[in-house]
Structure formats: structure tokens, C-alpha cells
Amino acid sequence: MTKKVAVLTSGGDAPGMNACIRAIVLACERADYSVLGYMHGFNGLLHQEYRLLDGRSVHNLIQQGGTMLRSARCKEFEGREEAKRAADNLRQLEVDTLIIIGGDGSFRGAVHLSQFWEGQLLGLPGTIDNDIQGTDVTIGYHTAIETAVTSIDKVRDTADSFERIFLVEVMGRRAGFLGLNAALASAADYVILPELFESEEQTLEAIMQQLTKRRRERGDVSYIIVLAENLWPKGVNDLAEQLTKLTESEVKPVILGHVQRGGSPVSQDRLLATRLGAYAVSLVGSDISGIMIGECHGKPVKVPLPSTWQKRKPLDEFTVSTMESLMNNRYA
């Protein structure tokens, strides 16, 4: 009997989600499985909003940002009755396997659904934050770094022209992977990360020590600080105001925001998304369920869904030490 596979994208969108959908659809066609896509994340699952997918529907899709299935967060899905309704909808369509592309919130939703649905559940890590434990990188992360670096480079041009201080806020939610690597790749002067943040006072003191030293050695040069979002207690504008008073120089805040989610995925994200999507389809019909498929050291790995969020994913120690040595000052 032909297997039926469903796929949905949930939570924040990430460049490469479309590439992953494409890989799933093409691999399903090769295996003679039928495939459908639920629209708007778990909302589509609740309201039986879906579309049939085939090779024609994913043509010319690999380079497109966003997600053709649309995405959303679904507070409603947290209820027991709602999860039961979703399970009934899957049974009505005779879905054998549900593949969920998203982050830890999406994986929590999958575990919640598994209490009421007996089908196969597979998760694929799609988030620019790279905060999923058990996989080296997540779909969308490399593109988000590239977008942040390109933006910081442009900020540097005007910073150099005016010998001005800029404060650039990047995304990452509660994780500093994007901030750390964007700062290192753009030669930022200072970076403030959630994993290493201790206090406002220590951070301001460290910035002032480094900036004073730079000005003594080089004069009034440009200075770029990268800050992870939602980290500074009163926000990025408050930090800019405090630094303006301390430095007696104009400090300009720049919030990159959702521009980091958009754009055509870079080759690393296209390749990762394609590999993970195709591998997920290879597991359809097996007794493997309730897992995320990630990649470590270039090889696919299968991680129980709860393990993806139960422990905080650590920053790479070598990257941390490299940034610290180049900044000549320990950072927040």
C-alpha cells in the first residue's frame, strides 16, 4: 500500500525551508509515496488546511527564501482537545508519516501530538538561531550569518566615514551563535552574548576599557558592538544612551530584526536542507519515530525530540577563544 507523507513548517521561518520541502517531495515521488503539505504550521493541522504536493509544485523552489507552506505559531495547539482533533485529521487523511520542519517549539508540539496519534513523527531542525541540541547546524543558520555580516559591513562603511560608534542588534533569541559568528566574520570590536553576559556594569566597564585603549592608540576610529537581541535589560536603545553619555560620542543603534530571516538561502543551507529532507524520507515506514534528524560531522544523526531542548547547546569553545583573543579583552 502506498505510504502517505505530510509535511509542515512551524515557528519562525528560515532560509532553506523551501529547499527541504523540495527534497522531501522529490524523494517521496521517487519512492512512490503521496505527499501533502499542511499550511500555516500546526494551524493547518487543526483546521485541515493542506495542499497536495508533487514535482511540479516544487519546481524552481530551492533558491527561494521563506516557506511555500507558510508558517505560524499556534498557541491553540497546546490544548489536549486540539491535539486530539489534529490526530483525527491525520487519521482522516490516512497520513502515515508527519515531517515537521522547525525549532524547539515545533518539536514540543510534535511530542504533544504523539500522545494522541500513533503515526510516525520526524523533526527537521529549521531555525536561524542554531539553538537545537544534537545537530551541528540548523537549516537557515548559515544564511542568517551571511545576512548579518553583509549588514554589519555596510554599517562599518558609514561608521568609518564619521569615526562613529555603532551598536548592531542581531537575532538569536536566547542563543549567541548568530551574534558570535557574525561578530567574528565582520571584525566587530565587541560582542555581547547571552551565554557569557554577567551584568550591565561589567559590560559597560569592559567596553570603556577597550574603547579608551583603542582611541589612545589609534585616535577616533570607528567602533562596532554586536548585541544579541532581548539581552540588554532595558533594550538596545537604552544601551546606546548609556554609551553615548560614557563615551561622550554619538552611539547609533541598528536593529537588523527580521531581515535576517529572509533572502535566498546560501549553498550550505540548501545542501543541509536537501540532505536532511531526503534522509527523512528514507526513514518513512520504519519503526523510527519521535526523533529529530540532524547532522554531526557531516553525518546524519537521529536525536529523540525531548533531547533537542532539555540541555542548552553550548557555543563552540574554539570560536569563543578566537573572538576573545582578537578583541584583546574578555567580552560580556
Query: Is residue 47 within 8 Å of 72, Cβ to Cβ?
Result: no
Q: Which of 13, 96, 104, 129 is catalytic?
A: 129
User: CA-to-CA distance for 42 and 39, rounded, in angstroms?
Assistant: 8
**Phi/psi of residue 91, each to 5°?**
-65, -40
- Cell triple for 238: 537604552
* Strand, helix or coil for residue 226: strand
Query: Is residue 170 within 8 Å of 180, Cβ to Cβ?
Result: no
* Strand positions, DSSP E, the chain: 4-9, 34-38, 50-53, 97-102, 120-125, 165-170, 190-192, 223-228, 251-255, 291-296, 299-304
The CA R_g of the chain, rounded to the nearest whole Å, is 22
H-type alpha helices, 74-140 = 80-92, 104-114
User: CA-to-CA distance for 129 and 142, rounded, in angstroms?
Assistant: 10
Query: Is residue 214 within 8 Å of 223, Cβ to Cβ?
Result: yes
User: CA-to-CA distance for 219 and 163, rounded, in angstroms?
Assistant: 9
- Specify whether 32 is catalytic: no
Residue 129's contacts (CB-CB under 8 Å, 6 or more residues apart) are 103, 138, 141, 171, 172, 173, 175, 177, 178
In SS3 terms, 243-297 reads as: HHHHHCCCEEEEECHHHHHCCCCCHHHHHHHHHHHHHHHHCCCCCCCCEEEEEEC
* Residues with catalytic function: 129
